[in-house]
Amino acid sequence: MLYREIGKTGIQASVVGLGAWAMGGGGFWDGADDDHEAASAIRFALDHGINLIDTAPGYGDGKSERLVGEVLSGYDRSKLVISTKCGIIWWGSEGGYMHTVNGVRYYRNLEPHSIRHEVEQSLKRLRVDYIDVLFTHWPSLESFPTPIEKTMRCLLALKEEGLIKAIGASNVDLDQIKEYMDAGQLDVTQPPYSMLNRGIEGEYTAYCMANNIGLFAYSPLEQGLLTGKITMDYVPKAGTYRADYLSWYQPQNRRQVLDMLAGWSDLSQKYEASLAQLVIAWTVAQPGVTHALCGARKRRHVEENIKGGALRIAREDLARMRGDVERLKPI
């Protein structure tokens, strides 16, 4: 496993992190929850090179954090990198309304008093006395705006108090990153990024590199589509993330992706790697991308993802893969 520093914090994290969103369960995901299997996946990750675990209070209304905390309590805390988030609440209605999932209304609130309450609750659920990386989960909404400078003052205070070690912002654009930087040091961002979703390439990644800001790419496997294991016969369940948010799962787009992946069979043989491993290795080789958060609920998926963090792909093969990706034309 390759390890990289998060920004200029001195924190060394595995380039492949375990994303624990799906472990929170809920209506976004296909299949039944299996907490025992999820706990086994976390333990396998920690025992085989992954030290970065990313979760959030909003993943299952605290369930993901609780599950992660139960497993991590048996490990050396000093060797773990725990990443969680703040800014989304469901226990009250103070904030900008975001959405309703399974009858629960979620609000965005980045006011300092709300962030502090969230951090207190996250520390309890995770069973730790500090958080390595705290991300603002989403920007505030116009219906309940909080200036970034005000949010940043709170985050800097939490860092000064030793409750968090690094400051991150998720789902932010370049202008918002610059606002964070005007108010203090932003250590890392967490945008969606994959071969099929490369919107951050260019000014965003260049700014992060120039300012020593780490980048945790989430959904690098596009919810499993880039593993090659999702066939044309698969039908996403209505109401799930795949069905409602990912246009590449539409049949006409999915066919293009599967044909591209099938064309990489020689690369799989050359590197003795699965398609998922090739995709992960390609992702963390892209300029500005420092880490990839790979979601998993099963041990076998974690085992496969780990190997992608140790794979090195030759420059000419990286270029070939990019060329194939850029020829895709979503309909």
Per annotation, catalytic residue among 59, 107, 193, 218: 59
Compute the distance between CA of residue 177 and CA of residue 149 in angstroms, rounded to an integer: 11
- Cβ-proximal residues to 108 (8 Å cutoff; 6+ apart), any chain: 87, 88, 95, 96, 98, 137, 138, 139, 140, 141, 144
Active site residue 59: yes
* Catalytic machinery residues: 59
